[in-house]
Amino acid sequence: MDSRAGRRRRPRFVSVRSLPVLLILLAAAYVFGQDAAPDAAGPPLTGEVAQTAADDHANGHHDPVTPLLVGLSLILAAAKIGGAILVRFRQPAVLGELLVGVIMGNLVLLGPTVFEFLRPASADHPETIASAVSTTVDMLARIGVILLLFEVGLESNLGDMRRVGLSAFLVAILGVLAPFGLGWGVGKWLLPEESWHVHLFLGATLCATSVGITARVLKDLGKTDAKESQIILGAAVIDDVLGLIVLAVVQAIILNGSASLAEVAIITGKAFAFLVGAVVLGEFLFPRMYTIAARLKVHGMLVVTGLVVCFLLSWIAGLVGLAPIVGAFAAGLILDERHYAPLRQSDEGSLEDWVIPITTLLVPIFFVMMGFQVDLRSFANPSVLLLAAAITIAAVIGKQVCSLGVVERGVDRLSVGFGMIPRGEVGLIFAAIGRGLHTDGHAVISESVYTAIVVMVMVTTLVTPPLLGWSMTRRSEEPSLPA
């Protein structure tokens, strides 16, 4: 898509001008790679600060945080440079963050291991040892996406969400049914020798929507309050509940041969209780909480209470089986300016003003590290590429169908469909569960099917920013990108 934009109007390539910054960055990476990387990769997770210092006679101080500081500097600088380059190509900045992440994470394939100290440990890379640095970067990334959804929730409004509620619900339902059917069909077609359990699970894997990347693109475009955005976000929340139900049912069928209605009802009930409970909490508890918080004469109560609400709702969402980002979005949605009015007297600015610097720091970490974990070797496996291509197409088409659920007029259905494409880590979690489930003596999701799902997740993540960027802006702005 870059070449397409480039053909029309060659943008000045920003990297020549940012060469000094890049050089400093690379020099730092080199020095660090030579000097500190063994320290970073080695002992930190024992966390023995004092002991490490004692072992290190040459240096007076030896703070285990320093390799983390280098890592964060590299990630942030790379994110901004990547974002700036892609913005020149009229793409959302987040695509640049993902792509520099892909470069950083796959540089090791060409030899240099400078960025490897950042690689989070995962089941897919059992050779990777969790260090204090990689663990913290991973956690900061996860907090980043939680705060991103919190911020998007703050910018959204419960009333607006309710108004598009029917569309969101229909979009979510279609967005689960269509990919499920297509996924099942692809399984039957390309994996005919496998049992129907496998086809069932493949269908389930395609249901989930991971709204982080979409939320970020909408923010990059300044469109979080557009009707399309409200429908996508609402549908993604409902989708998460539906995905939970689908997963429970499919698991029960594979494990027990049938799903217990009572069990499914409990899971569904917990999820809905959470969403309803959050709204009730917002109406009744928050105003009181803020009145109390306003009495505490300390600095920063506004942002701290906001973050505590966001963190606790994310946690509770996780407890009932929903994605933490759904809890964070709900927290943002129900926290309203009229609630924290008592606090405005002591801390200046709105809650959003306080959250933005924190998300500015943490959100790029999430997207760079998301790109970092894209393993380009997955694309080099010809035996799975056909399957990968088929389920990717099923995943994309399946979510386009859901735009038929939009009942409002004047809403761009294409944008709604594009916004629902990314599967993100939710698809991976489903697939990982499938790897742990056994049918006929082997895993429901085999190694090759898992790799195909990983490719699908990567592709759906990477195509969403340019597609959504184009569809959301094609009406309002100058026709910078051809259809």
Residues 269-288 that bind a second copy (CB under 8 A): 288
Residue from 213, 203, 191, 173 nearest 394 by CA: 203
C-beta separation of 353 from 137 below 8 A: no
How many Cα atoms are found within 13 Å in the side-chain-facing hemisphere of 313? 33
Going by C-beta distance under 8 Å and a sequence separation of 6 or more, which residues neighbour residue 212? 145, 148, 149, 325, 366, 422, 424
Candidates 121-129, 184-192, 229-237, 458-466: pick the segment binding a second copy (CB under 8 A).
Answer: 121-129
Restricting to residues 17-46, which ones interact with a second copy according to CB under 8 A?
17-18, 20-21, 28, 32, 35-36, 45-46
Q: Is 248 in the site for a second copy (CB under 8 A)?
A: yes
Q: Which two tokens stand for residue 266?
A: 């409990």
Min dist. Cβ of residue 331 to a second copy (A): 11
Q: Is 243 in the site for a second copy (CB under 8 A)?
A: yes
Q: DSSP assignment of 86-134, as one string?
A: HHHTT--HHHHHHHHHHHHHHGGGGS--TTGGGPPPBTTBTTPPPPHHH
Q: Is 253 in the site for a second copy (CB under 8 A)?
A: no
Candidates 106-114, 303-311, 409-417, 464-472: pick the segment binding a second copy (CB under 8 A).
Answer: 303-311
Measured from the CB atom, the residue of 116 and 408 that comes closer to a second copy is: 116
SS3 at position 297: coil
C-beta separation of 144 from 370 below 8 A: no
**Which residues lie across from 442 on neighbouring strands?**
439
Q: Is 200 in the site for a second copy (CB under 8 A)?
A: no
Cα 336 to Cα 453: distance, rounded to the nearest angstrom: 39
Cα 237 to Cα 211: distance, rounded to the nearest angstrom: 9
Q: Is 186 in the site for a second copy (CB under 8 A)?
A: no
Min dist. Cβ of residue 358 to a second copy (A): 6
Residue from 118, 131, 103 nearest 32 by CA: 118
Measured from the CB atom, the residue of 336 and 347 that comes closer to a second copy is: 347
Instruction: Find the binder of a second copy among 134, 392, 403, 464 (CB under 8 A).
Output: 134
Q: Is 458 in the site for a second copy (CB under 8 A)?
A: no
Q: Is 266 in the site for a second copy (CB under 8 A)?
A: no
Q: Is 357 in the site for a second copy (CB under 8 A)?
A: yes
Going by C-beta distance under 8 Å and a sequence separation of 6 or more, which residues neighbour residue 379? 385, 455
Restricting to residues 77-106, which ones interact with a second copy according to CB under 8 A?
77, 79-81, 83-84, 87-88, 93
Instruction: Find the binder of a second copy among 104, 142, 236, 391 (CB under 8 A).
Output: 142
Q: Is 104 exposed, middle or buried (0-12, 13-18, 19+ CB in 10 A)?
A: buried
Q: Which residue has the tokens 């759906």?
A: 460
Q: Is 14 in the site for a second copy (CB under 8 A)?
A: yes
Q: Is 332 in the site for a second copy (CB under 8 A)?
A: no
How many Cα atoms are found within 13 Å in the side-chain-facing hemisphere of 288? 6
Q: Is 16 in the site for a second copy (CB under 8 A)?
A: no
Candidates 1-9, 105-113, 125-133, 374-382: pick the segment binding a second copy (CB under 8 A).
Answer: 125-133
C-beta separation of 314 from 320 below 8 A: no
SS3 at position 225: coil
Measured from the CB atom, the residue of 119 and 399 that comes closer to a second copy is: 119
What would you report as the CA-atom Rg of the chain, rounded to the nearest whole angstrom? 23
What number of chain residues touch a second copy (CB under 8 A)?
112
Instruction: Find the binder of a second copy among 3, 7, 9, 60 (CB under 8 A).
Output: 60
Candidates 72-80, 163-171, 184-192, 468-476: pick the segment binding a second copy (CB under 8 A).
Answer: 72-80
Measured from the CB atom, the residue of 130 and 414 that comes closer to a second copy is: 130
Q: Is 66 in the site for a second copy (CB under 8 A)?
A: yes
Q: Is 259 in the site for a second copy (CB under 8 A)?
A: no
Min dist. Cβ of residue 303 to a second copy (A): 6
Q: Which two tokens stand for residue 388?
A: 């990968």
Measured from the CB atom, the residue of 229 and 314 that comes closer to a second copy is: 314
DSSP letter at 285 equals: I
Candidates 107-115, 350-358, 390-398, 404-412: pick the segment binding a second copy (CB under 8 A).
Answer: 350-358
Q: Which two tokens stand for residue 290?
A: 């803020």
SS3 at position 442: strand
Q: Is 324 in the site for a second copy (CB under 8 A)?
A: yes
